[in-house]
Every structure is written in structure tokens, then in C-alpha cells.
Structure 1
Amino acid sequence: MLQPLLSPAPLNAQSASNCGVLSAAANGLDGFIVQHGGDLDQVFGRAGIDPEQLLHPTLSLPLPNYCKVLEEAARQTACDNFGLHYGQQFQPQALGLLGYIGLCSATLEEALINFAKAFPFHQHSTLIQLVDQGECYRFDYQVRHGAINERRQDAELTMGMATNLVRHVLGRDWAPREVTFEHAQPENWQEHREAFQTDIRFGQACNTLLIPKHDLAARTMPGSDPMLLMLIKDAIRQLGESAHEVSLLDQARQAIAATLHLGEPVLEDIAQTLGLSGWTLQRRLREHRMSFTQLVDQIRQQSAMTHLKQQRLSVTQLATALGYSETSAFSRAFKRWFGISPKQWRSAADS
């Protein structure tokens, strides 16, 4: 079984002062938009963002507005791969607390672990995890906010940020073994291959980087600073103490959603991710008048509606993403939920 080094970040794990994404994530965005011929007032106005907020990296931007400003920038500048190019030049130190917890770590491996662990306090409503796959680590990222349908530019930006953390140590020529994106293949997809210098797969269940472990072995961070790292971790610990309490049900939902693409969810595996026994998880779910099977069914139903609306995956791809071994099994489940087939539901939603 694949082992996450970190439990999936709770969807609403956030500090009281950060209800979205810290504005450090938009460092230099205004200049980058202008550089590409965009109209700042128009882009920020349509996204509902006050440019003054970008001057204060610890202020919080609503996540839907942040994703929208990137999509608007791509449209307004006529640069379809805006997020990809913005991410290529985005260096770790520009991310503030999140970047420096990686830069101050002792080794590159520790930097990736610390980066993933700190991410929930940088951005909420987001899956972030580092999974040990034997020869490689898999870095997973996916925005999971119900109000956000367009998030391609953010995904490409974030994959670039994570790649640049590794390249900070290994150099600009380093390449992950593979990169996947959940969105459909864009017209100028060759630019993605050039940016990451590896194979790219689109229309997948999650945005991921596959990082060979041998690239990380004994690689020290050039800016390692144990004292500063301790202070940063202490600040994050304080954020954690003031974070909103997350219910077990919410944690279970995210753990299931994060592993659906691997196949049929197993009770014992999900329980282990949450630090519980299978029996304890069953008992806790019963307190919510919910069985494990019902919870999996509920998550699949919600995910199916979201993906069918977004038009990114075919019915066959969606069946695989939801953990079904056969498309026919997904179609039967969908008809049980809604009384019609997935294709009929998608056609009705489009009309």
C-alpha cells in the first residue's frame, strides 16, 4: 500500500487569520501581467482583488478570487500558458513562510516534507500530500473549493513552484520523472514539456510531480538554518493551535477523495491514514449515522457531478478517477443516484 508521508491536509485546516491563500502566492503578479501586455485594473477588477493587498504577503486573499485573477490574466494577456510561465520564474523565497521552511531545512528531502506539511496554513480548501512510492515521492496538489471551477492556471503555477524548490538545489536542468495535470491538454502543451523537461499527462485525477528519491539523497540545502527553521516551525505550530477544529467526518472525506484514483477505498487503509483502527473508524462514522460504504458513495456522487460539469474527463476517465474498475460499474452507480446515465446528465447540464 502506498504510504503518505503526511496525512492529507484537512480541507478547512487554516489559521483564524488566513481564510484563503496568503498573498505571498501572488508575489510579482502585477509586474508579470504588465510584462505580458495586460491591463492591471481590468484583470484585478474582474477578479475582485485590491492590488494593495499584494504589498502585504501575510494578508489573506479569498481562494476563488486568487484562482480567478490567474485565469483573467491568461485571458486578458492572450497568454494561454500564463500560470505555467509565472510558475517558472517563481522562486521559493518569494513564498514567505512557506518558501523559507523549505529553504532553511537541512536536506532537500526534509525541505519537501516541511513544505507539504506547512502548505495547509498557506492555503485552505486544498489537497496537498507527499506520498512515498518506493523509488519516488509523489507530490499531489489539488484545489478542492466548491466555488472554483477554473483552476488550471493555479495548478500549473503550483507545480512550477514545487519544481523550483528542487531546482534551487539541483539546478535548472533537473527534471521530475513525470508531471500530471487534472485539466485537459492545452493547445500549446509542448511548452509544458519544455518547462518541466519531462513527459506530461493531462486529464488525470490529480496534479502531481513524480520525484526520484536518488535525486534527493544526501543533498543538503545551501541555506540551511536550524535556528530559523525552529522559529518558523514554532510559528506554524501556533497557527495549528489556533486552527479551526476539523471533524473526523471531514478528515475521512478528504482521505477517501485523495485515494479514489488508486481504486476501491479500503476501510482499514483510510483508518490507518487517520491514525485509527478500522473498528474505531466504523464506530465514529456510526455516530454520524453513516457507514463507510455510504460515505464513499456520497463522495463519488459529489465528485462525479463536479467533473461532469467541468467537461475535463470522459466518462471512462471519470470512472477510473473515482476508483471503479469498469466504466459499466460507474454507469450503474450513476443511474442509481440520478436515474439517468452520466452522458445524459452531462447533456442536460449543458442545455
Structure 2
Amino acid sequence: MDFFDSHKVDIAELAAVVNMDPDTLLDEQGNMPQIAYLKLVEWAADRFQMPHLGLWMAENHDTSQFGVIGFLYTCSSNFGEFCKLLQRYQRIIMTGSEFQFIDDDDLIEARFTTSIDDVELTSHAAEFAMGVMIDTIQTFTKNLWHPVKTCFAHSVIEPENDYANLFGSNLFFNQAHNSFWFERSLFELTLNSATPELLPVMTAQANRLLADIEERHDFLGYVRLQLRAQLTNEAFDMEALAKQLNMTSRTLHRQLNQLGFNFNSLRIDLIMEMAKEALLKSDAKVTDIAQELGYSESSAFVRVFKRNEGMSPLQFRKSHAA
């Protein structure tokens, strides 16, 4: 939010971009749903003509903006300890994302992943997250350190020279993962300002935040379960779901909105998920699939499918045929 504040973009405008209520765009910790964050960063990069917005944010970040994760960084006795903590608590910074640190002989692969499959949509987030990690290593090493190798899942963003300051020159694009490699010996680097005596306090706080995130994910999982069970029941609407969850429909709408969802979008997502599975794993007719998913008219099902997938159910089946 610091970037948007500095560019005089208020919460109402941001909420309008992602079609959310301004009151629910941010949760109690000041975080927003992952998909909303990614869309807003992409929008900002275009609006402010900053093609490398992720890199810019990484080079201008302040450790304090990461809250408890920033404190864990200053409490860690060495870089290896910080990496372990980051691997566990990255989701607090951005829900649905994580860092993994993978042994690769004398090197360590730092791999950044998100739950969003659209690699171009996640490009700024990947460049930001990995850029912050490299800036962190440079802080530990006290010099202009660069990774041994860096891979991006997305296509190169011009100008390509903008990558040099953080990532050096050994870059590869359109790869399987967003990753960079560093020497295993860096794990032993210490930070002079480290305060390890505060680590238990900060870890306890991080555990509480993580538990809150996981609880909200459990809530969404339970909502999906109820929707799946009642998918063919036309009478099962928002009111019925709210009653099942022992809350008002207004409360249910607010909680789903905070997670970046609504009743209709979740229902359609489940319909599409089940429809695609049936099309790929069975020879069932489209009319039969439509009926099983609660559509009395197959034409209505076909319209919904085409609107979401850009092709008819039969075209989808043919395009995935072996």
C-alpha cells in the first residue's frame, strides 16, 4: 500500500479496479487477497509506465513494511536461519505464495511459487519477492552480490538491462520456475544488528498470524465443500449457505469478499472444475454432464462454459484429446 499512497491512489480507486468493496479490500492485518494484489500491481505498472515495477519495489523496499517478517529478519542470527523462517512464514506477506530452499550440490536454489498459474500475472510479484531476497543477501554480504543463475517463469520484460543491478547477467526466461541459485556458504553469514534474544517473541507472533491465515483457508475449504455437496440443488443459494454456516448472509458475503471471492464465482468455479473433469475423464454426452451439474437446459451450460473457457465443451474435449 505504501506505493499506492505515494502515488495518491486511494483505497476506493484500488477496490474499483478489482471490483471489490473498499471496506473489505484489506483484512485486519492490512493484507489483500492474492489475486487482487497481483491485478493491482499489473494495473499500476501499466498506469504509471513502470514495466519493472516489481524490481523498483524490491530496490526501494523498507524491512519495516513486512511487519513481523521484517522483525524475524533482524532477529535471525544468520542468513540460513532467516531462510528457514521465511520458508515457513512467507504466506503472511502474501497469501498463496512461498519460498522453498532446495539443495543443489554446493548451491541452494531459492524457488518462489504462487498458487496462481498465470505466469505473466505473477511476473511483478516474482521479480519483487526474489529481488528483496537478493537485496537481503547483499545486506548480509555487504557488497554487490549477484546470484549464480536466475530463472523466471515469465517472458523477459523490457528493458532487459533493468535486471542487472539485482540479478546480474546470467538470466533465463520462460523457465519452469521462478528461482535463483546462491552458494551454500552464504547460510553462515551473520548480521551485525541481529537480536536473536527476541526471536522467540517474534516467532510466537508469526505463529498466531499464520494460524489466522490457515483458519480462513479452512473456512473457504468448508464453503467449497458445502457448495459441492449442493451443486445440483437450485434452491441452495447464499441464504441457504449462510444458514448452513450459522451466520447471516451479509457476514458470509463480507468474509468471502475479504478472501477475493463471492458466492456466484465459487459456484461457477466448482461447476467448471467438475465439468472439465467429466469432459476429460469420461465419454459422457454434454447434455448428460449439464444435467448432472444442475442445468435443465444444456444450452445454458454451454454458454457458461464458453464464457469461462473461451470454447465450447466439445472443443475443450477435442483440444485435450491425446
TM-score (norm 2): 0.60
Counterpart residue number, 1:220 = 190
CA contact (8 A) 2:119 2:153 kept: no
| Equivalent residue for 2:204, pick from 221, 234, 247 | 234
CA contact (8 A) 2:26 2:32 kept: no
- 2:3 is the counterpart of 1:29: yes
Counterpart residue number, 2:80 = 109
Q: Which amino acid aligns with 2:177?
A: C
Alignment of 1:169-318 (within 5 A): 169-217=140-188, 219-241=189-211, 243-244=214-215
Q: CA deviation at 1:43?
A: 5.8
1:117-163 per-residue CA deviation (whole Å, 9 max, x = no partner) reads 21123332224311122211111112213689612111111111111
Alignment of 1:133-148 (within 5 A): 133-145=104-116
Q: CA deviation at 1:239?
A: 4.0
Once residues 65 and 101 of structure 1 are traced to their aligned partners in structure 2, the CA distance between those partners, rounded to angstroms, is: 26
Task: Name which of structure 1's ranges 67-76 and 130-139 shifts more when overlaid on structure 2.
Answer: 130-139
Once residues 91 and 143 of structure 2 are traced to their aligned partners in structure 1, the CA distance between those partners, rounded to angstroms, is: 27
Secondary structure in structure 2 of the residue aligned to 1:190 = helix
Counterpart residue number, 1:66 = 37
Q: Which runs of 5+ in 2 are unaligned?
A: 222-276, 281-315
Q: CA deviation at 1:198?
A: 3.6
Structure 1 vs Structure 2 CA RMSD: 3.6
Q: Which amino acid aligns with 2:47?
A: Q
Q: CA deviation at 1:76?
A: 0.4
Once residues 97 and 103 of structure 2 are traced to their aligned partners in structure 1, the CA distance between those partners, rounded to angstroms, is: 20
- 2:74 is the counterpart of 1:100: no
Q: Which amino acid aligns with 2:3?
A: L
CA contact (8 A) 1:90 1:160 kept: no
Q: CA deviation at 1:64?
A: 1.2
Secondary structure in structure 1 of the residue aligned to 2:45 = helix
Task: Name which of structure 1's ranges 180-189 and 144-153 shifts more when overlaid on structure 2.
Answer: 144-153
- Structure with max Cα Rg: 2
CA contact (8 A) 1:105 1:229 kept: yes
Secondary structure in structure 2 of the residue aligned to 1:216 = helix
1:283-339 per-residue CA deviation (whole Å, 9 max, x = no partner) reads xxxxxxxxxxxxxxx9xx9xxxxxxxxxxxxxxxxxxxxxxxxxxxxxxxxxxx944
- 2:94 is the counterpart of 1:123: yes
Secondary structure in structure 2 of the residue aligned to 1:58 = coil
Q: Which amino acid aligns with 1:238?
A: R
1:208-252 per-residue CA deviation (whole Å, 9 max, x = no partner) reads 1211122333x21222212221101112333455534999xx9xx
CA contact (8 A) 2:86 2:99 kept: no
Q: Which amino acid aligns with 2:68?
A: L
| Equivalent residue for 1:165, pick from 136, 141, 153 | 136
Once residues 89 and 54 of structure 1 are traced to their aligned partners in structure 2, the CA distance between those partners, rounded to angstroms, is: 24
CA contact (8 A) 1:91 1:161 kept: no
Change in CA separation of 1:229 and 1:155 when aligned onto 2, cut-off 3 Å: same
Once residues 29 and 235 of structure 1 are traced to their aligned partners in structure 2, the CA distance between those partners, rounded to angstroms, is: 26
CA contact (8 A) 1:91 1:165 kept: no
Q: Which amino acid aligns with 1:234?
A: A
CA contact (8 A) 1:178 1:209 kept: yes
TM-score (norm 1): 0.55
CA contact (8 A) 1:43 1:72 kept: no
